[in-house]
Structure 1
């Protein structure tokens, strides 16, 4: 009774893992959750106030499908000033979440039989969206000893390749790409006339390395589709607010999909987005500072137990090699069933992740310490 295209898409592995932990919590079991792909902080008050004010003054009706002018202008200004992009308000599309933006991009630019390059490991929904569009993902290996940076990219480009997907900072690894790596990706894209989807949702959550937008590099302005949003930087996951900046022809296709599907992002939420970009950034800085401290606690603790992991340079995930104790799937089940610690198996993110697990440190320092003690009791 369902379409053949639906069979190409698997259930989200990260959501599935979170649901298993939720079921145990419902049974009264104290599960320490390292699955969360969202900040455990409240949305800053000035953002909530702006959205509430908009709602109560009557901003509860349809907006233009591309978004309210105030937000599109603020996004374009942000992209020009912070990211060095030649962004125009007319080419900014506001979406109900960055995930929806990525889905629309895949459906808009990929066709049957075409290929899109993913760096292994990669966020689970990229592959699902690529397959749903009728295209095939092609996995390029990365180096765990060097920030999970990709290598031998050119060997995986064929006459069917249409797009390269870049996610820096990266989910699940926390890797932040050096300029030389981005330059290599850009050179391949230019030489083979490829598009690049640059998912920059974690751009503000970085530590030792600086985030660089590949779309700002020479020759990349018109071939880069930049995706971002408010979920991670401003703790607004439930608000479902993202955006895309793309060349005019691609923008028109994305707008066509949005107009005929979700219509647009929630009206009063968009006014919250304006406040996020134009208001104080102190809550972002404070959140990142706390994430930095948690990262160090978690990585040091995991390494002392016997896992192998480097300190990630961005996002709020640790991708830990657990091969000294078993494969990632086995350890994931063991930790949940015996230690009541919920993590995500690395195999969810690609073939290379089989010996890894992903842990999110979007939880308190106290719970991180307690989780490490439980893990050590089982495996140490």
Structure 2
């Protein structure tokens, strides 16, 4: 048999899914692994999907997505962040942010182009760059997971095409200060680079308001904003995301979308529209609940000896496990085996992630309390 694609063959499976799959075979596991809300999609949103089915909205939509959904998205971004996009030419509905990221990388990159990625970072960033023919270039962040603008600038070469950032961040929960994002935008202008901003967690910001990267001076015409409904609207399985970007980028991304996905599911788009139009109270309620869980869980981690900066956004804690003397992978494996708590080793998120574990606190407080007890017991056993 002839060999398969060597680029894909060289890409390792997701480190997040690996531990999730192992945990699924065990009884009594508390999973802090996969970043998925424990909320069910609000009833009125589900009802909108049911109504769409009943009305026979089971056809294709336009490739770009329902016009009324695109109008609602750009209106929301304008009201919240004072950034303007044209719904007809600068907004594309995708099957989740993951597809949006793939489209953007294939649109921006030529073979050998480099994309700078501050890390720790989401596990899909590097593979999406590689699958598009590009080369990911990882740069470290600060000990509190803020961007190091000097490090980013030192990594720029003649092949650099874009910088890919996320705020709030998966896996750290860090929110980048507006001042640092402004410096990043200035850097992109000086070096004529694109900016790709993953803002899927933008509504899950607790201690500081979210800054949309495209709203900053000089950024609008070189920035791609990725967003969606999975996290704040508890709609992971509906698979609805969006890209907002300058028209020339969207035109080419739309061509790839036409030939690969055609369009996001009609029913899912109808449900997302209802969520955006009438779901604000539920979003506020969920964010407040995540905030309570965040404070309780992080306090518990610090009390058992796992130093953890309080994350400002998303629903992840990223505590240090260096005090145990174990690698992040060994810690995660042994914790799962001994105490039935599933976490993700920080090493899967890049070199700076080593010495940490990612814990999702998007689960009920009683389970978080029990997880902390089990983790404390595990750490105590290591010390004996």
Give the TM-score, by structure 1 length: 0.97
Are the aligned partners of 1:122 and 1:350 in contact in 2 as well (CA < 8 Å)?
yes
Aligned residues of 2:332 and 2:344 also touching (Cα < 8 A): yes
Aligned to 2:236: 237
Superimposed CA distance per residue, residues 2-51 of structure 1 (whole angstroms, 9 cap, x where no aligned partner): 21231243211111221111121xxxx20010002111001111111111
How many Å separate the matches in 2 of 1:98 and 1:53? 25
Deviation readout 1:179-236 (Å, 9 max, x if unpaired): 1110111011000000001110000011111110110111111100001000001000
What does residue 374 of structure 1 align with? 374
Describe the SS at the equivalent of 1:202: coil
Mapped to 2, the partners of 1:166 and 1:308 lie a distance apart of 25
Q: Distance in 2 between matches of 1:304 and 1:6?
A: 43
Matches within 5 A, 1:17-96: 17-24=19-26, 29-90=27-88, 91-96=90-95
Instruction: Judge conservation of contact 1:9–1:132 (CA < 8 Å) in 2.
Output: no
C-alpha RMSD over aligned residues: 1.1
Q: What corresponds to 2:4 in structure 1?
A: 2
Deviation of 1:330 after TM superposition, in Å, equals 1.3
SS at match of 1:282: helix
5+ residue gaps, structure 1, are none
TM-score of the two chains, using structure 2 as the length reference: 0.96
**Structure 1 counterpart of 2:194:** 195
Question: How far is the alpha carbon of 1:68 from its aligned partner?
Answer: 1.1
- Helix, strand or coil: the match of 1:191? helix
Identify the residue that residue 307 of structure 2 maps to in structure 1: 308
The runs of 5 or more residues in structure 2 that have no matched partner are: none
Distance 1:161 1:231 in 2: 31
Kept after mapping to 1: 8 A contact 2:17/2:34: no
Residue 268 of structure 1 is matched in structure 2 by 267
CA–CA distance in 1 between the matches of 2:12 and 2:132? 13
- 1:150 positional shift: 3.0
Superimposed CA distance per residue, residues 127-186 of structure 1 (whole angstroms, 9 cap, x where no aligned partner): 110111121111121112x34333422111111110111100000000001011101110
Once residues 198 and 131 of structure 1 are traced to their aligned partners in structure 2, the CA distance between those partners, rounded to angstroms, is 18
